Amino acid sequence: MKNNYIICNLDNNQIQDIKLIEDELKINILPKNSILEDLENEYFSYFVLKDKINKNIVGYIATSHVYDTMDIISIVIKKDYQRLGLASYLLNYIINFAKEKNISNILLEVRKSNIPAQRLYKKFNFKKINERKNYYKAPIEDALIYKLEINNINFNSNRKWSKINSLP
């Protein structure tokens, strides 16, 4: 299953594709001009997940990183591709990427109502560290802040972190 997908850097020509995925899911994480600016900034990384067969983008992950801390800005999977382990695939990729960049901590915010995402983060040993009241707009909702301390995970640079083996 995971062999049918490839992860690569987002380029300017693919921004509209990820915005279409957000539209399908009725979310708007970042405006196009912000993404364009981020792609010129060495402290931001955007990766797309592509179906090898039809070459379509089926998801993406966006991060920012400064010094030893990375923030996951968004992780999004197209509706028809959800529940296939692809968010795990992207998350595993970014954890390995962070480790290679000597990142010690990964932080993220998630809507309090987004239970599937919370389960995913807990599966990867993220710990809830705080809560932000009324953080999200439309609708207004609290955010839960999760943190992963990378130095506390079992990582072997000769292979991917063991969570990748749990993919379908």
Q: Is 121 assigned a catalytic role?
A: yes
Q: In 3D, which of 82, 84, 83, 43 has the Cα closest to residue 62?
A: 43
Clarify whether 149 is annotated catalytic. Answer: no
Name the nearest CA neighbour of 56 among 103, 16, 106, 89: 16
Could you give the CA distance from residue 69 to residue 102 in angstroms, rounded to a whole number?
A: 9
Rounded CA separation 105/107 (Å): 7
In the structure encoding, which two tokens stand for residue 32, read together? 């196009």
Q: Each residue's pLDDT tens digit in the chain (168 positions)?
A: 567 899 999 999 999 999 999 999 988 888 888 998 999 999 999 999 999 988 899 999 999 999 999 999 999 999 999 999 999 999 999 999 999 999 999 999 999 999 999 999 999 999 999 999 999 887 899 999 999 998 766 544 333 443 333 333
Identified catalytic residue from 42, 121, 141, 146: 121
What contacts 24+ positions apart, CB below 8 Å, involve 155-158? Answer: 155/96, 155/99, 157/99, 157/100
Catalytic residue among 60, 89, 109, 146: 109
